[in-house]
Chains A and B, each alone.
Chain A
């Protein structure tokens, strides 16, 4: 009877224990009862009952606890959360942590696939941020961070002269001074003297205007570079009058000579003088100024003025010498040169800077500004995705509650969230890095010459590694954010309340993050707006020329060897104008010494003969052909045009003045017929007419004073041509133009081909570039901000879905419910917009 009753008690044990040991437990109890009965008879009952009660009181809960832990362990293993066996550190058997993570990632992928819309938005958002950052890092890496492509670049120095009256250091030097410095400096093992020049190079297709680095033979040795084909310059190449030789850059060899493998030893011409190609540089060669080929300086045997400062030098320090010590040594030598040659060197000093400072000037600073803007975009993207994941986590409270009840810990949820965050960020990073390739090309094309070493910027391995690292960091950051909403007490309370609840800690975080987004977006939009207004204001200023989009311009430089006399030069001018005027599609043609809308012109001081106290300063000198004003559409304001006879008269004294010059010299008096007397014009010049102003190179400044005289009086070998097209596309005239010039002289190239409109746009400088980029970033920030607001509003609606449902059930209209939600949205966005506007106003008015 007792054992039968005990058998009923054993049924209280967990099923697993019953199955394995149930009969054994009952039999053990029966054996003990038999023993006790045999010893104490019916007096064994109390002892036996007490013994079974005590044993059951301990073993039954213990068995149930073991069973619960066994089940929890099985559930934990199934949920792939890292876990330890309940028995003090003996790890649960199974698959190990790596497989746990792989299963987590597979589950994350399946889960995200089920919500493809959400995942798509998150991936695109992250792709934008990560891709933009990878692209801008590529630019920074290629332009500024990469070491200079020379052997031991830290040992290279750039020498210069300096004078306090001329802006300090950084001025060119003279060859005699450089030769003396080079000979006397013991801390410099070698130095090369160089200068830049341009010339007309005969290539495969046609002559091209090229930029030449003219240097003493030591240059490549100082830089530590060897030609990939052919030879370096030799000492005998430096001798004046020796055979002209050249080493081509890799790009020149490929672009202009078709990568001819037999280029070494081939002869071409430079300015119609025979030139032998003796070598080709390696593809990664670069030098400040971007030369297209190297030619010897040919200075040996020539006389150079010690005061003629047109040259520079690159030197290599001896061993681990300090540049400060070199500066001291050079200064000591230069002091002797100042004493010995006071007329050339009085007031001057010498200076040395690391080559890196010379090769990578401050133009790179603007890149860092845009890097900052791009980093902001990534921050906004991360905030958005974190918000979206928080919203998603809100909808899984029941799942988390079940996990907690089965023994999971909060830390055990980390792999779950991290997997989702990493999957999103790695996919977004992959898409972003692919897009970054085009982003780099767009940045280089947009920034153009503002970026040093622009020709060597590409999506590098380092940039890819940075993109990958960014993806991992972003994944960790956004993945862990939802963990804030998974506090066990909060989760269980949420489930108990049926999803009702006040907006808790996570909601406040989400609101705060989105407000920060809105502030950032407003800042970027206002920055873009300021730039747009600035650019628009510049564009509104009247250029002074008509139909700039229909006027094609180019520059010609006649080789001195064939065009050394003014009559010869003038004949070329006249023949060229005649040829081009006959071309179909040409409305008019003109030549001028310097194109309109460009800065940096010849200038002179202009006194008025009748009013000697009135002197116009920095007056632009323009020598133009007959149809100049017709081609540009410049109006006549007063007086008359120059006649054809005056254009042919090489000794004439009549000129046209622009409005600014006339006003500066004569105020409201009539300038027509007045004489002006620049020092170089014996007898003065007579103003016969006043023409409209044309703006100069300063984007926001007024038109400079200018006067015009016939080009026939002073024909120049360097001049520009303007061809006005009857059609809308002036570039269509280019093939015929080239043919006309080749017909006159096949050795003469044309270069700097652009329309007047393109010249006008280039006057905007980096402002135009900045406007485009800031505008793009502002649009991005707005779009991302909208996604962020959507995320938080989704969260809010999800939180209040039961409340809203109750309201609707009680008779509230859909409109009033909508207004309720919209009011919440407004409370979210309005403060952010206000703060953003205030910050924008403050930053706009600051000197920065």
Chain B
């Protein structure tokens, strides 16, 4: 998804999935099917709360970026 930018180990990945599931940011996707011949996969989808949190986090990051730019750093 990040085109290799973010690389998480399996423990960290599923730790993040566990955390986001407990906080209601993502949920298991009910209609996804594992493609034939592929190893078992689990699919998750973002929730409304997750979208709101992502939006809020995006705004926060943009605000920080704007502040950095105002300080004269080229980004």
Contact = CB atoms under 8 A, between A and B. Distances in A.
Contact of B11 (A23, A31, A58): A58
Contact of B18 (A21, A28, A56): A21
A52 B9 contact: yes
A32 B19 CA distance: 22
Nearest to A67: B18
At the interface, is chain B mostly helix, strand, loop or mixed? helix
Contacts of A56: 9, 11
A90 B17 contact: no
Given A20-B18, A90-B23, A26 B11 contact: no
Contact of A66 (B12, B19, B39): B19
A21 B17 contact: yes
Quick one: which of A52, A55, A58, A87 has the most chain B CB within 10 A? A55
Contacts of B22: 66, 70
Contact of A25 (B11, B23, B39): B11
Quick one: which of B9, B22, B40, B42 has the most chain A CB within 10 A? B9
A62 interface: yes
Interface string B14-26: 1101110011000
Nearest to A26: B10
B42 A59 contact: no
Given A17-B14, A20-B18, A90-B23, A59 B39 contact: no
A789 B47 CA distance: 63
A29 interface: yes
B13 interface: yes
Contact of B15 (A51, A52, A59): A59
A31 to B, nearest CB: 7
Contacts of A32: 10
Given A63-B15, A66-B15, A51 B9 contact: yes
Contacts of A417: none
Nearest to A28: B10
A56 B19 CA distance: 16
A62 B23 contact: no
At the interface, is chain A mostly helix, strand, loop or mixed? helix
Given A24-B42, A27-B39, A87-B23, A55 B14 contact: no
A87 to B, nearest CB: 6
Quick one: which of B14, B22, B23 has the most chain A CB within 10 A? B14
A60 B42 CA distance: 21
A54 interface: yes
A58 B40 CA distance: 25
Nearest to B11: A59
A13 interface: yes
Contacts of B8: 55
Interface in A21-57: 21, 23-29, 31-32, 51-52, 54-56
Contacts of B9: 29, 51-52, 54-56, 58-59
Interface string A585-614: 000000000000000000000000000000
A52 B12 CA distance: 10
A62 B14 CA distance: 11
Nearest to B9: A55
Contacts of A58: 9, 11-12
A55 B10 contact: yes
B18 A31 contact: no
Contacts of B17: 21
17 contacts: A13-B11, A17-B15, A17-B18, A25-B11, A26-B10, A27-B39, A28-B13, A29-B9, A55-B9, A56-B9, A59-B9, A59-B10, A59-B12, A62-B12, A66-B19, A70-B22, A87-B23
Interface of A: 10, 13, 17, 20-21, 23-29, 31-32, 51-52, 54-56, 58-60, 62-63, 66, 70, 87, 90
A-B interface, 6 closest residue pairs, ranked by CB to CB distance from nearest: A55-B9, A59-B11, A28-B10, A21-B14, A25-B10, A29-B10
